[in-house]
Structure 1
């Protein structure tokens, strides 16, 4: 075998190895997101909306840093922030659970984006959020500029009903 052939074979092997490592990393991110989403919406008996505060994590992943058991909690946090730079995304999520039988649950999740994540870090955040959306995407809707609003006004802007 010539040196050129050996170099081509070695580079092909390295490319395949790199793709396997990247694929495993993506599967780990997917598993992490799956588990955190299931944790966040595990209160199925009440069919309540859960809130998620999302931030970029290392290695282009995402970290769900906080979850809120009811929708009011996320608004309390929003109202305490720099409201004119904050956003809430409303995300429709479908996932399967097994009770007495296998069933699919459709839920609405409110995703709060803090002002810091929309400034200098916005490109990193958008990449992280695109991972989240591509994993659980059906529709998203963004609500911006809550400056001067009361909680009831914000909730009035969101589509109803709040639960299924």
Structure 2
């Protein structure tokens, strides 16, 4: 009934028709390149810019509060941004997921936060803008037994604040 060319024409026509989006209210909008909710008007110096373009998290090796070379690269980006955006205060939150008691993990998380503050200060961020809080194992990002999963909890999160909170020393 159809020759080779005829079948090919029917297939191509079918693909073209099926690709049309003329169903009206049943059509699905193209959201592939849409901006993520909450980040529509990302402005320079905004918290969104810091989170997306700089990075808030610094990771540590198991049982350690020593800033690694990889962590230092993140801290350098943070320091550069913070020096340009002096209106922000910085709450540096330490976390842990290491062997040991809750007290040991709390102390380790505090040391991690203080190590990041020291590194930021060494790069020119005013220490008066920063304060540390160690949470130990209180706020895990993940809860699993896999070592790569657990390592995500060995972190410091640099949070931007407009004012000091109750955990800031002398407040």
Structure with max Cα Rg = 2
Compare the two structures and name the one with the higher strand fraction: 1
Q: Same fold (TM over 0.5)?
A: no
Using the size of structure 1 for normalisation, the TM-score is 0.29
Compare the two structures and name the one with the higher helix fraction: 1
